[in-house]
Chain A
């Protein structure tokens, strides 16, 4: 499959990427390309210009800063999965990164690319929403709650580039997903986190975009145990239905994955 024609430009720095974008027409940033390139091959995306930001060194780093971990937007999934800092302080995040796609995808795919793309079944949006991250761009800071706007939609404006993401260290955190066996995208994935701000439960893969589960958050806020979720039925009304899974099946999976995520969080404690 061959995408429509485009012009390729390689940015050497954030300033260079901004300059290239300002002079381009109908441009898109290319990070790891592991979702954008397949979308372009299917001609679901057809930018006239691609600005490759994957080789900007300043966007790739992982740093512990106080009670947070700051991860550069260009950091590959493999680097997050193998980071000692992430493994020690938010092991659920390292485990999530370790299960994105497959090893070859993890060698290229990036945190910033995953968030900016906001694929309905991507893994990182669940962690971002449950951990209430702050997303710093070249223009402002966007809180996770305001960032994810709908299917493949975010609060990012044209030419706005994610620089890094601040993850609060969680007291407890766990992620569980039921992957499609071919694409490895989540049919349902649930990230649960207990932080100073309380318990948050974020679901990916099941609906057009990542969303929170207030009933589960309230139940886990009272008692952070898998069985606290017994009897909480997930409504299938707004969930995705396709050849891989019906909305009802996804609704069922959300509860199962949420319980597994809680169990995983407690096992690490």
Chain B
């Protein structure tokens, strides 16, 4: 079986995987990184968003060998030295989650969103979130959390 190699959360990893293995299954089953969730498995819900070479992608819509040699960042890799990422902190303080299932994808999407658009208003945040579905419909606090997160990042939060 082919071996897929990539850097995940700063660590080099390699594992055998059939070519048809989706990146999300590679992360969850081969690497046991189950923080990346599978919601719809049809590219719609965004629970599986991770960063590949610095950009948010849906890991249910990419084959693992496509990420061979890539730098991958998952929700497990965003907190540093036991401290939450400012986006995680903002979600926690604003109660930007209900059941939590969509949260890893929301956080990974938010980090990418703030990278691309440091200045965010609520309408922009809602438009940017069109690929992330919260089935608890908890968008109000998610939007507040992202506004807060953008302020924290702009203010130089670690």
Contact = CB atoms under 8 A, between A and B. Distances in A.
Interface centre among B22, B128, B133 (most CB of A within 10 A): B22
Interface stretch (B6-14, B41-49, B73-81, B83-91): B41-49
B134 interface: no
Interface stretch (B51-59, B93-101, B150-158): B51-59
Interface string B124-146: 00001011110000000000000
A54 B130 CA distance: 24
B62 interface: yes
Contacts of A24: none
A103 B131 contact: yes
Contacts of A10: 65, 68
Contacts of B131: 101-105, 184
A202 B128 CA distance: 27
Contacts of B116: 103
Contacts of B57: 104, 107-108
A108 B62 CA distance: 9
Contact of A103 (B19, B20, B56): B56
Contact of A37 (B2, B46, B55, B63): B63
Given A102-B46, A103-B113, A103-B128, A5 B61 contact: no
A74 to B, nearest CB: 14
Q: How would you classify the secondary structure of chain A's contact residues: helix, strand, loop or mixed?
A: loop
A2 B22 contact: yes
Interface in A1-60: 1-8, 10, 30, 33-34, 37-38, 41, 50, 52, 54
B66 A33 contact: yes
Contacts of A182: 44, 133
A237 interface: no
B62 A50 contact: no
Given A2-B22, A52-B66, A33 B112 contact: no
B19 A104 contact: no
Interface string A107-128: 1100000000000000000000
B109 A103 contact: yes
A42 B61 CA distance: 12
A114 to B, nearest CB: 14
A184 B130 CA distance: 8
Contacts of A103: 56, 109, 112-113, 116, 128, 131
B43 A34 contact: yes
A34 B20 contact: no
A37 B109 contact: no
A214 B131 CA distance: 35
B130 A7 contact: no
Interface in A57-104: 78, 101-104
Given A38-B61, A108-B57, A54 B20 contact: no
Contacts of A54: 66
B56 A6 contact: no
B18 interface: yes
B26 to A, nearest CB: 12
Contacts of A30: 66
Given A103-B113, A184-B130, 6 more contacts: A8-B65, A50-B19, A52-B66, A103-B56, A107-B56, A182-B133
Interface of B: 2, 18-20, 22, 25, 41-44, 46, 49, 55-58, 61-63, 65-66, 68, 109, 112-113, 116, 128, 130-133
- The 3 tightest CB contacts between A and B, nearest first, are A102-B131, A8-B19, A107-B55
